[in-house]
Structure formats: C-alpha cells, structure tokens
Structure 1
Amino acid sequence: MNEAARSDKNTALPNISPNARWTQNGIIVAGGHEKGNALNQLHHPCGLYVDDDQSVLIADHYNHRIVEWKCGATSGQVMAGGNGPGNRNDQLYCPSDVIVDKETNSLIICDRYNRRVMQWPRRSEISWSESFIQFGNTRCKRGRDPMEYPIDAL
C-alpha cells in the first residue's frame, strides 16, 4: 500500500472516553418562535447564506421571501419577496436557496415554484424594476424591457 494512502501512519487520534458527553452549545440565530409570517418567525426555512459580516440570509420558503438576520438580531428584514406567492417580478413562490453575488452586491435566488432564478439588488435605493434579471429556460429579461436576449445554457 502506498504510504500516502495509509491513514494510520501520521494520524493522531484523540483519547476520548467512551462515556464522554458532548456539550450542547447551539444558539438560535434566526426564528425560534413557532412557524409564522412575522419578522421574528420563519416558515420552512430552506437554503441560507452567511455573509462576511455574519448576517444570515434565509430562503423563507412558505413565506415567499428572503430574510436577512443580522448577528444578534431578534428579528429579520425582508430583502426580497414578501408580497405573497406569485410570479410578478416583486414576488417569489417558495424560494429554496439564496446566495450573494459580491461583484454586483445582489442576491441570486432560486425561486422554486416559478421555475426561475432571480437576481435581486441588496441596496434599498435601487428598485427591482431597475435591476431585475430573470433566468429561465433559454431567455433572460432585464426590468420591464420587452426585449429578450438569448443566454447560453449552463
């Protein structure tokens, strides 16, 4: 057997008692107040993203929104959606994941039941109609512009 493949050669195993108990150190960083639609509640949280400042962005599936919880906050802030389920450009329908595009300072959201991926601005001074991009099938739309641009399939 190759020396590099042998795991017992250079591995130090800790001496842990078979009766050891792990200390529970978990803390609630978002939600924890029954399911609901208040800003201190979540309803089926799915994907999440932890930002550089330790803010947690959460795809709040059945509330049809993306919420941001700042470190130590007792409630979240709606960053996208939150206008009920739907397919308008200001709505989400059961979002399942969210990431941050740091280059454009925007959220990239998997909008599950609308079968689309949306780009949403993080800055409050930009409205969704100015910077909205929707990806789905083989077309890309910007804002309310009726022009369609083909995009490469991934």
Structure 2
Amino acid sequence: QTIVIADRWNHRIIQWKQGDTNGQVVAGGNGEGDRLDQLNEPTDVLIDKETDSLIICDSLNGRGVRWSRRSGTTQGEILIDNVNTWGLAMDDQRYLYISDTQKHEVRRYQIGDKNGTLVAGGNGEGAGLNQLNWPTYLFVDQQQTVYVSDCHNHRVLKWNKGAKEGIVVAGGQGEGDALTQLDHPNGL
C-alpha cells in the first residue's frame, strides 16, 4: 500500500509506503518555482494507473502537470495551463476533471485537450445554482456526475452530466456549525 500526498507548502508530492518511517519525494521538491522540475503549492494529486503517472494540480503555477512514476523521472509535463487548479478527479473513461478557483468552474478534459468542456459553474462567481464560488475538491461517479466542494458558498453541489445547474446535497444554509451548515468545505 502506498499513499501519495500533495505537500502544498513544501512544493512537492511525497509518497509514503506502508511501514515506512520516511516519505519519498516523487514530484517537485526542488523549491518553489515554475520550472518543469518544480511545483508551486500543489493542492491535489491522483494516480493514473494506465500511464503509471501522477497528475497534479500545480496551483500557483496555474497548470495541471503529469509526472511519470518510473524511477529517474526528474520533471513533469504540462497537460493543461492557464487554469487556477485546485482539485481534480478522473472518471472511468479517463476524462480529467479540474476545478478552477478563479473562473469559478469545473471543466472536463480528454488527455491532450487544452480547452476542456464546462461541466459545472461557468457563470461567474456567485451563489446561484448555475454558479460556483471558489470550487475546490471534486468527486466524479460512474455516471459522470460531478460533486463539487463549493467552498465560499459553504455547500456541496451535485452536477448531473449535461446539467446547467447543480443540486445542493450538503450545506447551502450559510456559513456555520449547525448540522444544516458547512464552513468552507474542501475534501470530498
């Protein structure tokens, strides 16, 4: 068993194997920066088993990058740029979903596609059901339904495939600690 961690303020991805006392840097780790061998506050990571690589939200560099897990890899490759990445997910058909905290949207990408398809938000920052406000982490199910932590709206939204607006599935009653409320939700 191995876990892979986005070690945000150390600007690296670290892997920890079960039973180990030390982690191993598997991406970044060369200080904060925008070179291909560096990361700048990575916020999320997933393992793409088909290509034996890591896909990383390189947040402050505004890009999604892929790093091979094969030994000897010293730099990543840019998959998507000009996007303020925060969270990502991959579905069964290998579509990549990335949240953009500045455009307040989630897009779905085929690997190699630079523009993607809008799947949630995209109507500016706001609290309407067709809007998001700082979307962070994502979950995508087998029907390509996208669940989004809508952080600054204090809610989690469900966007069915092809939907023009989301459905509140948790929170949405303002910021707070009541059982009907959330306070800046993140991980899903």
Normalising by the residue count of structure 2, what TM-score does the alignment of the two structures yield?
0.50
**Number of the residue aligned with 1:28:** 78
Q: How many residue pairs end up in the alignment?
A: 107
Letter in 1 for 2:152: Y
Matches within 5 A, 1:98-117: 98-102=138-142, 104-117=143-156
Q: Relative to structure 1, is the Cα distance of residues 85 and 127 closer, same or farther in structure 2, using a 3 angstrom cutoff?
A: closer
Q: 1:47 aligns with which of 84, 87, 98?
A: 87
1:133 aligned onto 2:168: yes
Question: 2:99 and 2:73 mapped to 1: Cα distance?
Answer: 29
**Number of the residue aligned with 2:51:** none
1:93 aligned onto 2:133: yes
Shift of 1:138: 4.1
Question: 1:53 and 1:30 mapped to 2: Cα distance?
Answer: 18
Question: 1:51 and 1:101 mapped to 2: Cα distance?
Answer: 7
Please say if residues 64 and 92 of structure 1, whose CA atoms lie closer than 8 Å, have aligned partners that are also in contact.
Answer: yes
Please say if residues 59 and 97 of structure 1, whose CA atoms lie closer than 8 Å, have aligned partners that are also in contact.
Answer: yes
Deviation per CA, 1:40-83: give whole Å up to 9, x if none. Answer: x312x101002222221011111100011111112111110010
User: Over the residues paired in the alignment, what is the CA RMSD in angstroms?
Assistant: 2.6
Q: Relative to structure 1, is the Cα distance of residues 87 and 133 closer, same or farther in structure 2, using a 3 angstrom cutoff?
A: same
In the alignment, structure 1 segments of 5+ residues that lack a partner are: 1-5, 8-20, 32-40, 141-154
Letter in 2 for 1:27: E
Q: Which has the higher strand share?
A: 2
Please say if residues 30 and 76 of structure 1, whose CA atoms lie closer than 8 Å, have aligned partners that are also in contact.
Answer: no
In the alignment, structure 2 segments of 5+ residues that lack a partner are: 1-18, 21-70, 172-177, 182-188
Please say if residues 120 and 133 of structure 1, whose CA atoms lie closer than 8 Å, have aligned partners that are also in contact.
Answer: no
1:120 aligned onto 2:159: yes
**Number of the residue aligned with 1:72:** 112
1:81 aligned onto 2:116: no
Normalising by the residue count of structure 1, what TM-score does the alignment of the two structures yield?
0.60
Question: 2:94 and 2:164 mapped to 1: Cα distance?
Answer: 25
